[in-house]
Structure formats: structure tokens, C-alpha cells
Structure 1
Amino acid sequence: MIERVRSGDWNPESVEADRNTRDALAARGYWQAFQRVKQSVEKVLGNQNAGLIASTDHSAWYRELFGPSVTAGLIKPADLAGYRNGPVYVRRSMHVPPRFDAVRELMPAFFDLLQNEPEPAVRVVMGHFMFVHIHPYVDGNGRMGRFLMNVMTASGGYPWTVVPLARRADYMAALEQASVRHDIAPFASLLSSLIKGSTEH
């Protein structure tokens, strides 16, 4: 596979074997990032400020998320350093994330808000929504936003919460409503229902 990448023959869009390898690398990266996020959750459960933990730890989650792709030679280690350096677009969305030069100011302000927000439920909704709204990375923003959401859920004593595939359309529609129409209520209601569902299982 590494030789195919080097030679330029790597094509996960049309070659099934390459697509399967890409998916395997993504799954491994998710598992590695999940291990790091669990360490962050442990800090939050030890009464450390969830916003501060997310601020200091999120870059390590991101490196783990794409670490296998670096090892395989698909991306360069430098690609994981810092936030994006160019425009990014959200597939099937009318939302256009802020310019890359604004991201460097938005992210510290975002983490300051999280650190100073006293209400855990607000941190859950705000943490997830604002992260994906800013879209600080070229790729992986949704996964990172959901990791961040779960660090915030831990701060309120809520269970680990996933967005099941069956609810993905609702999830994307609620994010779109919040981003484009500035109506956060459907997104907050969706997260609330998912957290309650996690509590009942």
C-alpha cells in the first residue's frame, strides 16, 4: 500500500482495495484518538475544568486521529500541526466556515467561552456546535466535535453519547439549521434526546 501511495497509484475513490485500506486506517485512527479522549475525560471527572482540558488536549486527539495516515505516507506530519491554512467547505451544506486567518482568533475565544461557561448542558451544545461551525481543520471536524462534546458531557455527569447512523440525517439537518438559520434549538433538542437515550441503555 505504501508503494502504491509513493507511486501515485493510490485511489480510494475508485479502487475497492484502496478504499478498504483507507477505511481501516480511519478506524485505527479513531480508536487511537478515542484512547486519548478517554484520558481527557478522566481529568474532567477528576474535577478539572472541561474547557481548559479540551483546549490543551484537542491537538493530541487530532494527531492520533490521523496518525495511521501519517505512518502510511498519505499525509505529512506537518499537516497535523496547527489549524488549517486555507478555505474549507462542508459537503452538502450552505454553511461556509470562517476564513482560515480568522480561525487563529476564533479558537482561543471559543475555548475561553467553554472554560467560563458554568452550565454543563450549555457546554455540551456550544462545544460541539461552535467547533464544527468554525471548522478549524481540513478534515475530521465532525469526529473532533463529537469527541469534544463528550468531554463536555462528562463535565455534567452525562454518559458517553454517540450519534447513531440512523439519526445522521437529523443530526446534519439540525447542524444546518443552527449554522445557516441561526436556530440552535433543534440541535440542542437532538443532543438532549441522544443523551437521554444513552442514559436509558
Structure 2
Amino acid sequence: MLNAKNPGIVADEDHGDWYRELFAPSIAVGLLQPSDLAGYRNGQVYIGKSKHVPLNKEAVRDAMPELFELLRNEPDPAVRAVLGHFVFVFIHPYMDGNGRMGRFLMNVMLASGGYPWTVIPVEQRERYMESLEKASVDQDIEMLAKFIAWLVEAGLKGKPVAKLSPSSSSS
């Protein structure tokens, strides 16, 4: 995916393709319109149960190049992973799927540093959402950074927090 290229450049060049690939099935089942995959959103979005209001559509177009510049210039892959995920979700550039794209971006940044693919387990969703809310509303990213570090560290030790369910591991 990265082919020894700067991960910030790869993310800038390829994130639209990643989004279309991940969410094309949503068109087939009627969750998204084809125009929703054409680029950044053209309307305001809101996040259920969050006090954070994502940027307006004009600000999205200003903020996304800044995000990719930050990723291009940050040498530490762990910092790129946390900031990339957080800033992407804070901006919320698409009509739907911003959290999944933020986690995908986080993993691309982690992979650029040789870290394992990291899944946020459903059992930890409340803690994850709480840490995102604190970062977005209170401008305190420490809880999110520590949460991601905990997940990555578990993966590095060969004991990922996310587990396959018994039914899915037997198929």
C-alpha cells in the first residue's frame, strides 16, 4: 500500500479511492447515494450523542489539505496514527463512514511504522467514543492517545484486545 512512499502523501492521494472501495456496497443496499462517494460532503453532518459539531462543508475543503500536510511532515508513525485518526474524524469530511475511514487511516499510519493492524473491539466502543468526545469537545487528546497505545501495545505483545468470536473462528 505504501511502497516506501511518505504515508502522508499516500493518504492524500489515495483516501478518496479507499473511501469508494469501502463504501461502494452501501450504494447497492441504498444506504448511500452514488453522489455521496464522489468527494467531500456538500452538507452539514452531525454525530449522534456527541456535542461535537463537525466542520461546515467549506471548512472541510480547507482542513483536509492541512491534515495531509500534518501527516506528510510528522516523522513518528504513532503520532501520525493518533493525529490522523482524530483530525480526520474531527473534520468528518464525508456524509457517512468517517469513523471507519478514520480507523482505516489510523491503521495505514500504524503500518507505515511496522505496527500491527489494530481493531477497536466492540466491547471497548464506549471507552473509544468517550475518548473521541473528550478530544473533540474538551480539546484533550490524551485519553484517545493512551487508548490507541494500549490497543497497539497488546497487539505487539501478540495479545490483541479484539478477539474472534468462537463461531467466526471455526468457519
Do they fold alike, i.e. is TM over 0.5? yes
1:60 is displaced (CA, Å) by 0.8
Letter of the 1:65 partner, please give it: L
Letter of the 1:64 partner, please give it: E
Letter of the 2:11 partner, please give it: A
Identity among equivalent pairs (%): 58
Tell which deviates more after alignment, 65-74 or 86-95: 65-74
Match of 1:149 in 2: 106
Q: Map 1:177-188; keep pairs closer than 5 Å.
A: 177-188=134-145
CA pair 91-72 structure 1, distance change in 2 beyond 3 A: closer
Structure 1's unaligned 5+ residue stretches are 1-39
Greater radius of gyration (CA):
1
Q: Does 1:47 align with 2:41?
A: no
Tell which deviates more after alignment, 187-196 or 75-84: 75-84
Q: Distance in 1 between matches of 2:81 and 2:26?
A: 29
CA pair 52-98 structure 1, distance change in 2 beyond 3 A: same
Match of 2:34 in 1: 77
Aligned residues: 158
The one of 100, 103, 123 aligned to 2:60 = 103
Q: Map 1:1-201; keep pairs closer than 5 Å.
A: 40=1, 43=2, 46-72=3-29, 74-201=31-158
Note the alpha carbon deviations across 1:12-45, whole angstroms, 9 max, x for none: xxxxxxxxxxxxxxxxxxxxxxxxxxxx2xx2xx
- Check the 8 A contact 2:36/2:95 in 1, yes or no: no
RMSD value over aligned CA atoms? 1.2
Letter of the 1:80 partner, please give it: L
Tell which deviates more after alignment, 70-79 or 125-134: 70-79
Flag the structure with higher helix content.
1
Q: Distance in 1 between matches of 2:9 and 2:73?
A: 9
CA pair 121-72 structure 1, distance change in 2 beyond 3 A: closer
CA pair 68-119 structure 1, distance change in 2 beyond 3 A: same
Letter of the 2:141 partner, please give it: I
